[in-house]
Structure 1
Amino acid sequence: MIIEEMTMPEFEQGLARSRTVLIPFGSVEEHGPHLPLSTDTLEACEVARKAALLTPLFVAPPIHYGNCRSTSCHPGTISISTTTLKMLFKDIVQALYSHGLRNFIALTGHAGGAHCSALQDAGEEMLSSYPDANFAVVTEYLLARDEGRGLIETPGDAHAGEIETSRILHSHPHLVKGSAPREFPAFPAGILVRDKRRYWPGGVWGDPAKATAEKGARLEELVVKKLVELIQTVETCRNES
C-alpha cells in the first residue's frame, strides 16, 4: 500500500490489513560521475515497494534528504542537519501513529554514520513516547553488502561502486551515465578536514567497473527477502512498557 498513491478511504481500509509502515529515507548526494544524486532514495524506494508486494504494509513517501558529511563538498550534495533528520522522523511517526499505525520501520538507503545514528537516536527516544509501538531502523545498503557476500567482487566496496552501480543498472538503467574509475579514498586518521573533496576527488568508494545489472537484480532480491523477514519479526514483537 503506497501511501502517496492512496485515497483517504483506501488508507482507512488498509488499516484493517496492516498497522505496519516502512518509511524510506534517502539523500541528495553525489554518487560519482555516473550515478544520479538520488541513488540512495531510489534504492530504498525500490526495495520498499517490492516488500509491499510480498507482505501487507504501508509505504510512506520517501524523505529525499539526509545528513551527508563526507560528501558535503562535492557538487550536488544537499545535506540536512541531524537535528532536522531526527525531527522529520519523529513528526512523521507522530502523524502516522495518530492514524492507527503501530509498527514503524525506518529504511535508509543512505548509510552515513551520523545519518544512521540520528535515526537510531530518534527511534530510541520514541520508545518511551509510544509504549505500544515497535520501532526498527535498518540500513538498506548494509543489507545489500552483507547479503551480497560471495556475489560482490570488490573488497571494501562502499559508495557508488560495484554494489550501488549494479543496483541502479538493474532498477534505473537510463540514469546510469557512462562509467567511473575505481577509487578508494584515504582520509587522515582522526583529523577533521574541511575540504573533504581533496581526499575523495571522484566521489567513488569501490569499483564500478565490476557492476552488472544481473548482480543488481540479485542484490535487490536478497535485500527484499531480508527486509520482509525483519518486518515479520517486528510485527510479532511483544510491546514492553
Structure 2
Amino acid sequence: MIIEEMTMGEFEAGLKVTRTILIPFGSVEEHGYHLPLSTDTIQAYEVGKKASRLIPLFVAPPIHYGSCRSTSCHPGTISISTATLKALLKDIVRSLYGQGLRNVIVLTGHAGGSHRMALQDAGEELLHELAELKIAVLTEYDLAAREGRKVIETEGDAHAGEIETSRILHSHPDLVKGTGAREFPNFPVGMLVRNKRKYWPNGVWGDPTKASAVKGKQIEELVVAKIVELTDFMDKFTDD
C-alpha cells in the first residue's frame, strides 16, 4: 500500500488490514561519478514497495534528505542538520500515529553515523511519548549484512561501490553512468577535517567494477525478506 498513490478511502480500508508502516529515508548525496544523487533513497523505497507486494504494509513517501557529513564537500550533496532530521521523523510519526498507525519501521538507505544516530534518538524519544508505539530504526546493511557478504566480493565495500552499484544496476539501470572506479577513503584516524574531499576525491568506498544487476537483485531480495520477517516480529513483539 503505497501511500502517495492511495485515496482517503483506500487508506481507511488499509487500516483494517494492518497498522504497520515503513518510512524510507535516504539522502541527496554524491555516489561517485556513476550513480545518481538519490541512490540511498531509491534503495530504501524500492525495498518498501517490493515488501508491500508480499504482505499488508503501508509505505510512506520517501524522505529524500539526510545528514551527510563525510560527503559534504562533494558536488551535489545536500545535507540537513541532525536536529532537522530528528524533528522531521518525530513529526511524521506523530501524524501517522494520529491516523491509527502503531508499528513503524524506519528504513534508511543512508547509513552515515550522525544520520542514523539522529533517527535512533528520535525513535527513543517517541517511545516515551506515544504509549502504543512500536518502532524499529535500521539500515539496509543491518538487514542483509551476513547473507549479503556471500554475494559481494569487495571487503569493506560501503558507498557507491559493488553493493550500491549492483542495486541501481538492478532497479534503475538507466541511471547508472559508466562503471565507476575502485576507491577507499584515507581520512586521518580520529581527526575532523574541513576539506573532506582531499581524503576522498571521487566519493567511492569500494569497488563498483565488480557490480552486476544479478548481485543487485539478490541483495534486494535479501533485504525485502528481512523486512517481511521484521513486520511479523513487530506484530508479536512486546517489551512490557
TM-score band, normalised by shorter chain = over 0.9
Match of 1:161 in 2: 161
1:54 alignment partner, SS class: coil
Could you list the per-position Cα deviations for residues 98-133 of structure 1 after superposition, in whole angstroms to 9, with x for gaps in the alignment? 110000110100000000000000001111101211
Q: Is the 8 A contact 2:66 2:79 kept in 1?
A: yes
Q: Is the 8 A contact 1:147 1:223 kept in 2?
A: no
2:114 alignment partner, SS class: helix
For structure 2, the residue ranges without an aligned partner over 5 or more in a row are none
Match of 2:40 in 1: 40
Letter matched to residue 57 of structure 1:
L
Write the mapping of 1:1-241 to structure 2, written as runs, cut at 5 A.
Answer: 1-238=1-238, 240=240
**Residues in 2 aligned to 1:214 and 1:7: alpha-carbon distance in whole angstroms:** 35
Q: CA deviation at 1:144?
A: 3.7
Letter matched to residue 105 of structure 1:
I
**Residues in 2 aligned to 1:141 and 1:29: alpha-carbon distance in whole angstroms:** 18
Letter matched to residue 74 of structure 2:
H
List structure 1 segments (4+ residues) > 4 angstroms apart after TM superposition.
Answer: none
Q: CA deviation at 1:145?
A: 3.5
**Residues in 2 aligned to 1:141 and 1:177: alpha-carbon distance in whole angstroms:** 24
TM-score normalised by structure 2 residue count: 0.98
**Residues in 1 aligned to 2:149 and 2:67: alpha-carbon distance in whole angstroms:** 27
Q: Is the 8 A contact 1:123 1:135 kept in 2?
A: yes
What's the % identity of the aligned pairs?
Answer: 70
Could you list the per-position Cα deviations for residues 157-198 of structure 1 after superposition, in whole angstroms to 9, with x for gaps in the alignment? 000000000000000000000121100111001110000000
For structure 1, the residue ranges without an aligned partner over 5 or more in a row are none
Instruction: Report the count of equivalent residues.
Output: 240
Letter matched to residue 229 of structure 2:
E
Letter matched to residue 147 of structure 1:
E
1:63 alignment partner, SS class: coil
Q: Is the 8 A contact 1:144 1:163 kept in 2?
A: no
Could you list the per-position Cα deviations for residues 55-103 of structure 1 after superposition, in whole angstroms to 9, with x for gaps in the alignment? 1010000000000000000000000000000011000001110110000
Q: Is the 8 A contact 1:30 1:75 kept in 2?
A: yes
Letter matched to residue 11 of structure 1:
F
Q: CA deviation at 1:239?
A: 5.5
**Residues in 2 aligned to 1:185 and 1:238: alpha-carbon distance in whole angstroms:** 42
Q: CA deviation at 1:47?
A: 0.3
